[in-house]
Amino acid sequence: MRLTVRRTVAETGERVDGGDSASTVRARLLRAIHLWHFVFLSRLFALGIIFYHSSADVLAAMAGSAVLLPVALALDGLLCVVSWLEKRGKGRGPLSRHRWFPMTAWAIIAAGTVFYTQFVFAVSASNAYVASFDHIAAARIGIVLVGAAVAGLSRPAFFVFAFATAVGGALGTWSMEFGGQSLLFLCLLAAMVSEDSRYHRRQDNLRQAQVDDQERALNLVREFETAGRGWFWETDRHGNLVYVSQVVADKVGMERRALIGRAFTDIIRKRGGGGESEERTLGFSLSSRTPFNDLTVQAAVKGEERWWSISGNPISNSLGHFLGFRGSGTDLTEMKRSEREINQLARYDTLTGLANRLHINELLERALRNHFGQPQPCAMFLMDLDRFKAVNDTLGHPVGDQLLQQVAGRIRQVVGDRGQVGRLGGDEFQVVIPQITAHDKLAEIANAIIISLAKPFGIEGEQVRIGCSVGIALSEGDGVPSSALVRNADLALYSAKDAGRGVYRFYIDAMHNHASERKAIEDALRDAIAKDQLKLLYQPVVDVASEMITGFEALIRWYHPTEGLISPTKFIPIAEEANLIVPIGDWIIRTACETVATFGPQYQMAVNVSPRQFTNPNLPSTIVNAVAAAGIRPEQLELEITEGVFLDESAENMEMFQKLKRTGIRLALDDFGTGYSALGYLKKAPFDKIKIDQSFVRGAADRGGMNAAIISSIVSLAGALNMHTTAEGVETHDELDLIRSLGCSHVQGYIYGKPMTAQDAIALLKSNGGRVEAQGYKSARETRKRTFRTVSVDHGGFRYEAIVRNVASGGAMVEGLWNVPVGTRFRIEFAPNMIVEGVSRWAMDNRMGVKFDHAMDIELLASVTPAFVGGAPLKMAS
């Protein structure tokens, strides 16, 4: 850069910098030569005056002094020619390039001046000119002044000129005085010039330093710009660009020249929506002429998202008048991009692109409170995919991943703008729906999601079907904390899954009570085995034709010290959830094997195995060990497996069947017809027996029902597959007769005996050589006993006092509770050790009919004390 500037000086010949480098000296000399024709003219003019005022004889007398005058004029003329040549060469003249040029020029100036001055001073010293003294003096001063002025443009030339003038003067006047005084003046001149030179050198150095600084700054700026680290801009007072870096022009795809003169704001994209606040700040700052710093704006670049951070300061002149803005900008695009990527990673699920757990919870927090911090209404869905695990296990994780992506897409499509969808992990999804709490609208959305996810998914040429359960919780703007909402939705989801999946449930408070109850049971269950609270009872299984006991089913009971008897239907699912089923199940298998060993080798023992136990790979070894330890034959042990196992038709499951079969034990399919009603698996799994669920047996003897037909087809199916059938829950003679006529091989029911202790079972086996007699009512339509007994009715954690007006083993009419909704569940406590659970079937005013979940032995009622003090004991009236 420095070189460029120097060259410019040399080229133009202008005095740009104060440095005394050779090129500067040369340039100044050239400048003087360029003007030398004025000196030449002044000299000709002076000669004209002299000749005008001279007579011929005077001129003849001066001839000696004028000898070198033509040489002097020729030398001046030579300088003028040099000047002309140099001017034509535009500073790159043929002569000034040469090294000898300055010396030669100075020599010409010196010689010309000496010769010329010698003549003029000789003239002025001549007495012949006394009469024309003023003319001659004026001419003399004129030539000195013009010559000094022109030569003065170059300091060496000036000294050459001054010295030559002094020499010429001294020669012309031929006077020692002149020479001496001239020398004195020359010294004075030299001293003055040297002082001035020093001053100029200092000034020049200073200026040079400034120029260097400016150059350096300019270089840095250029480097900064070209490296793309930032750019600069300047506007005039109207906000129009007067400068902008090339890089900006490149980015916005315009010529830099075209940008100059356009409004600065033209290079900024005008956006709509909530992100424009920075643009507004920019607009405000520009119009109010105030500085702005690091405003993040979007560049007006077509087809690309480019972000800039810009800063600017108003500039004004020394009088304080506003001149415009000057500022800088940097490209934030990469930073924004990586920021967004980091954000994306931190807030969004990488697989589905949905909000992740953290972010959806943030969104929930935001939806629950407006920006003033006031609570506002909001609803939340928690969703769980049904059968997702089976897809993942059978078709593999890549298919599972694709399925999740498609599921995410469908949920997002259904929810649309109404809410935000998130994936919590695995197959759990969450939807936050702000401002909507109307049940019908939420139900509509939940239903749409369920329907949408129930449609088959096409993945890698396979059709995959899953389902989805939805739990819904809401806050009506009453400030429910997000954690409570999540817990409520979780309970609602739990209840939806419990209700058979593929449904949605709204949270109700009772769910919470239910959940706390579950938690309490779970805690107590953990040490129930250690405290010897779990017992097995044994219910006889009887051969229909011979009425001989063929074996027993082991049924677990939990005698809780304060809660009393807890049904397995209640605590087994909890044990499954809490992963307690395996240790409990192992204990059951061991105990059942030990017990059947005491009954005799001809008896079988059926043990219930829950689906969770079934997936435990240690199950076969547990069985082999238990059988070996009890010393029984493997065929004596029968595992009862429910259809739930087939929800997951995985290879592991099928392998487990084979492994169990290889141990030599028998397998029975329990509760047939109540679950997963696909019959295909019956062929795959090696069952020895089908147990027909008691829901088919109950009322099968009634006329007009379908149950008898269903039992009949199950029996023929079992026959075709070479399996036995056991009818469960046979209570009446009518039912027994029907079962016998339909061809069932075995019966298990109260008619032949309730679940009993091992001692009672042994006693029963001994009493009649293993033969039992059917005992029970003729038909299910048993007459009700009229009574007036005070009971405690428990619902949703509240206890009510009520009166039982009539009772049968299957249900009761209860008086005292008003307008009870049909389907409400109750616990009715007839006495502390006699509690039944049931559901309301009808209600009118303060009366309702309750159907018990399990039959109650009403004969026992007469002997127990009522639940409430003051309540009358049961009066039996037939």
Q: Which residues are near Mg ion by CB under 5 A? A: 608, 640, 670-671, 728
Those residues whose C-beta lies under 8 Å from the C-beta of residue 309, and which sit 6 or more positions away, are: 294, 295, 296, 297, 329, 330, 332
Query: Rounded distance, CA 639 to CA 667, Å?
Result: 5
Told to check if 855 binds ligand C2E by CB under 6 A, we report: yes
Q: Nearer Cβ to Mg ion, position 431 or 588?
A: 588
For tokens 């259809």, what's the residue?
643
Told to check if 539 binds ligand C2E by CB under 6 A, we report: yes
Q: Nearer Cβ to ligand C2E, position 419 or 540?
A: 540
For tokens 């700054």, what's the residue?
217
Q: Nearer Cβ to Mg ion, position 245 or 591?
A: 591
Those residues whose C-beta lies under 8 Å from the C-beta of residue 167, and which sit 6 or more positions away, are: 114, 117, 118, 179
Q: How far is the CB of 608 from Mg ion (least distance, A)?
A: 4
Among 608, 636, 653, 707, binds ligand C2E (CB under 6 A): 608
Those residues whose C-beta lies under 8 Å from the C-beta of residue 450, and which sit 6 or more positions away, are: 467, 468, 469, 470, 502, 503, 504
One-letter amino acid of 124: S
Query: Rounded distance, CA 620 to CA 609, Å?
Result: 12
Binding mask 670-689 for ligand C2E (x = CB under 6 A): xx------------------
Q: How far is the CB of 809 from ligand C2E (least distance, A)?
A: 9
Among 528, 588, 596, 817, binds ligand C2E (CB under 6 A): 588
Q: How far is the CB of 609 from ligand C2E (least distance, A)?
A: 6
574 binds, among ligand C2E, Mg ion, none (CB under 5 to 8 A by kind): none
Q: Nearer Cβ to ligand C2E, position 431 or 711?
A: 711
Query: What are the Cα distances from residue 234, in Å, to 231, 243, 313, 730?
Result: 11, 5, 9, 97
Q: How far is the CB of 492 from ligand C2E (least distance, A)?
A: 26
**In contact, 553 and 578? CB cutoff 8 Å:** no
Query: Rounded distance, CA 320 to CA 762, Å?
Result: 115
Told to check if 736 binds ligand C2E by CB under 6 A, we report: no
Q: How far is the CB of 516 from ligand C2E (least distance, A)?
A: 23
Length of the chain: 878
For tokens 């005070």, what's the residue?
790
854 binds, among Mg ion, ligand C2E, none (CB under 5 to 8 A by kind): ligand C2E
755 binds, among Mg ion, ligand C2E, none (CB under 5 to 8 A by kind): ligand C2E
Q: Nearer Cβ to Mg ion, position 386 or 643?
A: 643
For tokens 């790159």, what's the residue?
92
Q: Which two tokens stand for residue 60?
A: 């003849």
Q: How far is the CB of 638 from Mg ion (least distance, A)?
A: 10
Provide the H-helix boundaries in 721-814. 733-742, 758-767
Told to check if 245 binds ligand C2E by CB under 6 A, we report: no
Q: Nearer Cβ to ligand C2E, position 495 or 610?
A: 610
Q: How far is the CB of 608 from ligand C2E (least distance, A)?
A: 3
Told to check if 556 binds ligand C2E by CB under 6 A, we report: yes
Query: Which parts of 742-771 interact with ligand C2E (CB under 6 A)?
Result: 748-750, 755
Query: Rounded distance, CA 420 to CA 412, Å?
Result: 8
- Near ligand C2E by CB under 6 A, which window of 147-155, 178-186, 568-576, 618-626? 568-576
Told to check if 643 binds ligand C2E by CB under 6 A, we report: no
Angle, helices 22-34 vs 155-173, to 10°: value is: 50
One-letter amino acid of 416: G
Picking from 406, 396, 305, the residue whose alpha carbon sits closest to that of residue 354 is 406
Provide the H-helix boundaries in 377-508. 388-395, 397-415, 439-454, 482-498
Give, in degrees to the nearest 5, the angle at Cα 675 between 672 and 677: 80
How many other β-carbons are positioned within 10 Å of the β-carbon of residue 92? 11
Q: Nearer Cβ to Mg ion, position 543 or 671?
A: 671
**In contact, 757 and 834? CB cutoff 8 Å:** no
Q: How far is the CB of 368 from Mg ion (least distance, A)?
A: 46
Give, in degrees to the nearest 5, the angle at Cα 749 between 744 and 751: 105
Told to check if 525 binds ligand C2E by CB under 6 A, we report: no
539 binds, among ligand C2E, Mg ion, none (CB under 5 to 8 A by kind): ligand C2E
Q: Nearer Cβ to ligand C2E, position 568 or 620?
A: 568
What is the total count of residues that contact ligand C2E (CB under 6 A)?
A: 26
Told to check if 811 binds ligand C2E by CB under 6 A, we report: no
Q: How far is the CB of 625 from Mg ion (least distance, A)?
A: 22
Query: Rounded distance, CA 382 to CA 424, Å?
Result: 9
Q: Nearer Cβ to Mg ion, position 310 or 727?
A: 727
**Long-range contacts of the stretch 180-185 (C-beta < 8 A, 24+):** none
Element (H, E) at 722: none
Q: Which two tokens stand for residue 694?
A: 């008691």
Q: How far is the CB of 541 from ligand C2E (least distance, A)?
A: 10
210 binds, among Mg ion, ligand C2E, none (CB under 5 to 8 A by kind): none
Told to check if 555 binds ligand C2E by CB under 6 A, we report: yes
Binding mask 691-730 for ligand C2E (x = CB under 6 A): ---x---------------------------------xxx
Query: Rounded distance, CA 413 to CA 415, Å?
Result: 6
Q: How far is the CB of 671 from Mg ion (least distance, A)?
A: 4
Q: How far is the CB of 539 from Mg ion (least distance, A)?
A: 9
DSSP lists the bridge partners of residue 828 as 793, 836
Among 204, 386, 688, 731, binds ligand C2E (CB under 6 A): 731
Binding site for ligand C2E (CB under 6 A): 539, 554-556, 567-569, 572, 588, 608-610, 640, 670-671, 694, 728-731, 748-750, 755, 854-855
